[in-house]
Structure 1
Amino acid sequence: MSHAVQLSRIHHVAYRCKDAAETVGFYERVLGMTFTTAFAEDHVPSTGAYDPYMHVFLDCGGGNVLAFFELPEQPAMGRDANTPEWVQHIAFEVPSMDALLAAKAHLEAEGITVLGPTHHGIFKSIYFFDPNGHRLELAANIGTPEQLAELARVARPMLDEWSQTKRAPRHAAWLHAPEFQEGAE
């Protein structure tokens, strides 16, 4: 059965930035993204409101686009004080653990503080911040097809239990078992 909405991929994800040129430079230099497009307008096309902006687009590879808005006439950027900074982040996939470790070395050579690698059972990640305060994650998949199948199998029961209890269900506790973490690449 097909759905009424036919999605083909994410066109782009947009965030706010403090300085469009600094942001583009960071993502090109630090993460190797390609700056592809910029739009500057004085009026918002969807609302007609006066609100000058620069909208920049960076290709992350694989048809994935990350965009930013610089809004010079809006109040300074902030963040949701009620949401921990670790929650809202942008995660990018790297092809292997070797690539993850090479990325970490590159980031640290750029003077960027990096947390990790952190083991998440089926992937390992490193974390750092861009110049705008957005938390970024690089993740290398390490899960087996069997592990991924088991996670898919327990996804609905975990969500249902969480919805009833608001406590972490133990359906995938094996992800954090010491023997699993020690044996993972």
Structure 2
Amino acid sequence: MAIAELGHTGLWVYDLPKMKDFYTRLLGLQVTDEDEGLGIVFLSARPGVEHHEFVLQTGRTAAVGHKQQHQISWRVETLDDILAFHRLFQREGVKVQQEVTHGNAFGIYFFDPEGNRNEVYLRIERDVRQPFRKTLNLDQKPDQIYAEAEALLSDGGSAYQPVQ
């Protein structure tokens, strides 16, 4: 017996319309079902493959900013996708915690309107012992980003440098 993959996860929320807008308009998830009476929305990045990977439902009891989960990570296919989210988050005023290299991935840690930490990330085909997290400057050309990430792998400093 073994788990094949993560099927879906969900969040309790205070403001369902605001959270639905964030995850659909900014992250591009699609609503696959919803029940206004129950205050629940089902969302998917791949509706033709997976009915839902993410659920939002009213009923949150933790204060905004209180830790509910570690993070929700969304994989993208290209560096151009990461850079597009970088620019979108700047335009929309999304609170970004840190833009990073994990050695085996590039990512952007950011917060939704209720303070839940998310990450968009690009997997890099490289085996790097974790945790490895160093700030990466995404205001560069792609070849410069790759070069900086490579230099950060070999700089000899602390392998884990989160920004609070």
Report the structure, 1 or 2, having the larger helix content: 1
Asked if 1:70 corresponds to 2:58, the answer is: yes
Q: Deviations over 1:137-159 (max 9, x none)?
A: 01111233xx27xx6xxxxxxxx
Give, in whole Å, the separation in 2 of the partners of 1:77 and 1:142: 35
Indicate if the aligned counterparts of 2:97 and 2:111 stay in contact, CA closer than 8 A.
Answer: no
Indicate if the aligned counterparts of 1:121 and 1:143 stay in contact, CA closer than 8 A.
Answer: no
**Which residue of the other structure, out of 34, 38, 53, is the alignment partner of 1:38?**
34
Q: Deviations over 1:100-128 (max 9, x none)?
A: 01111011111113244211110011111
Indicate if the aligned counterparts of 1:127 and 1:138 stay in contact, CA closer than 8 A.
Answer: yes
Indicate if the aligned counterparts of 2:35 and 2:41 stay in contact, CA closer than 8 A.
Answer: yes
Query: What is residue 183 of structure 1 aligned with on the other side?
Result: none
User: Structure 1 77/33 Cα, relative in aligned 2: closer, same or farther at 3 Å?
Assistant: same
TM-score using structure 2 length? 0.67
User: Structure 1 143/116 Cα, relative in aligned 2: closer, same or farther at 3 Å?
Assistant: farther
Is there any run of 5+ residues in structure 2 with no aligned partner, and where? 130-151, 157-164
Indicate if the aligned counterparts of 1:128 and 1:135 stay in contact, CA closer than 8 A.
Answer: yes
**Which residue of the other structure, out of 11, 14, 18, is the alignment partner of 1:15?**
11
Give, in whole Å, the separation in 2 of the partners of 1:39 and 1:8: 29
Q: Could you list the structure 1 runs, at least 4 aligned residues long, displaced by more than 4 angstroms after superposition.
A: 6-9
Asked if 1:59 corresponds to 2:31, the answer is: no
User: Structure 1 40/102 Cα, relative in aligned 2: closer, same or farther at 3 Å?
Assistant: closer
Indicate if the aligned counterparts of 1:94 and 1:138 stay in contact, CA closer than 8 A.
Answer: yes
Indicate if the aligned counterparts of 1:116 and 1:126 stay in contact, CA closer than 8 A.
Answer: yes
Asked if 1:131 corresponds to 2:113, the answer is: yes
Identity %: 24
Give, in whole Å, the separation in 2 of the partners of 1:9 and 1:39: 26
Give, in whole Å, the separation in 1 of the partners of 2:86 and 2:13: 23
Q: CA RMSD in A?
A: 2.9
Asked if 1:119 corresponds to 2:107, the answer is: no
- Amino acid paired to 1:68: L
- Amino acid paired to 1:38: E
Q: Which has the larger radius of gyration?
A: 1
Q: Secondary structure at the match of 1:109?
A: helix
Matches within 5 A, 1:142-181: 142-144=124-126, 147=127, 176-178=153-155
Give, in whole Å, the separation in 2 of the partners of 1:128 and 1:65: 19
Q: Secondary structure at the match of 1:29?
A: helix
